[in-house]
Structure 1
Amino acid sequence: MTDQKQQSIALSELPVDELIRYGCDLGLGLDARMGRGEMLRLVRQRQELLLEIDREALLDIVVWARRPVRQSASKEQLVKEIATIGKMDFEKLSDRGLNAYARLRDVPLYTGEPRPDIEARIRVYEPIVDRLRRKRRRVVGALIGKVVSGPKHPKDEEYRFLPEADGGPSLREDISDEGVVGGIARRLKGAADDYLRTKMDEIEARIDRKLDEIDLRLAEWRDREIANRLKMIKITLVASILVALLSLGYNYLVRNG
């Protein structure tokens, strides 16, 4: 109970941008316009959901999507990876994984319903922006695949978790095997790989957020442009009617004058 209180206090003390980032890591689409209270409510609600979901179900999802994670990863780390999944082919996803995936996407589930109904509802609940982004990535992937030829990995290849952090040799063992320079270089290379992988994920998430902002602003611009054009059409129509009325009045006066 004390840990929950401390966590609640820590959440309430987070700046808005960090709270939004934390919510996005949990798979929530938070927006500063929601208000701080609403964002806190959604984050706490998601944390309660994570307590209910079986960790093995989350592992089923990352294995199905073939995301690189350690088997010992925490629930929050798994959900952060799951939040970036846009895959909609659920053929090889287990039933418990499918249910967990639906709950994380805020898709309602009903007792005893068949699996195809759940899959169809997940697709229906997919935001249009995510759907367009998925199609865009598919097109880009196909184009790059035609240009860059690399080794083909069979789809049925067994998934392997990332090696655990404490499973490798220690720095002392690296130095003993490869010398001071070689051992330190190997350790730095491993740290650099992890750092680059994390930064690339962050950059991709930022690009996606920027693209979403651009789409939103373009939509707002289109709405304003359409409103302005409708206004101009109305003004033109009213002016045309007035000119026609004046012309009719003038012709009437000329005939009777």
Structure 2
Amino acid sequence: MSQSFASVLGHEFKRPDLLREALTHRSAAQGSGRGRAADTNASNERLEFIGDRVLGLTIAEWLAERFPREQEGDLGRRLAYLVSQPVLASVAETVGMAAVLSVSPGEARAGVAKRATVLADALEAALGALYLDGGLDAARDFVRRAWYHAMVDQADPPKDAKTALQEWAQKRGKDLPVYEIAARSGPPHAPAFTVTVSVGGVEANGTAGSKRAAEQLAADALLVRLPG
């Protein structure tokens, strides 16, 4: 399966083990017995760390080319949207990530491979593997193909979700949104924060690798639930 996914990435891997690692969820790595396969390094978490940085760089470079007159604030909001979990999960679904991701049998039955967080992480890991094997040009080519529609559909800079939620509350005379950390999990090098935000008696959650990103996801989720 990893070989077929290499064609989706548009790259012939000199080190196919990198792509196999990128497509291995930690549940599969931890449950595969002794030796390197049981080492958490055999899962895609380390490659995800690299891919996250590669994605940020390639998207930032692309935005600077497409919007040469925009200032940092607008470019930053565009970047935050394009590297957000919902966009990553959508791109991952489009390229067929769920079908090639290796998870443990128990997690597979629970539908873990179709979860947005897992898909987003795996896509970043695949991008990390692509960068390490093929360099920045290979990574850039894939990003510009896979993120094309998300990029060109942006007419105006998206509004920051936390800012939009604050404006919603202020316009209606309500107290400002309150953010609280509901849970923290994962190893120190790859933590997962779940944040709850509430306003006007309504609340929503967001989970991400940083508190700031989790707050944004929670705000975005709450905006969907609130009346316009």
**TM-score relative to the length of structure 1:** 0.25
Q: Which has the higher helix share?
A: 1
Looking at secondary structure, tell me which structure has more strand per residue.
Answer: 2
Larger radius of gyration: 1
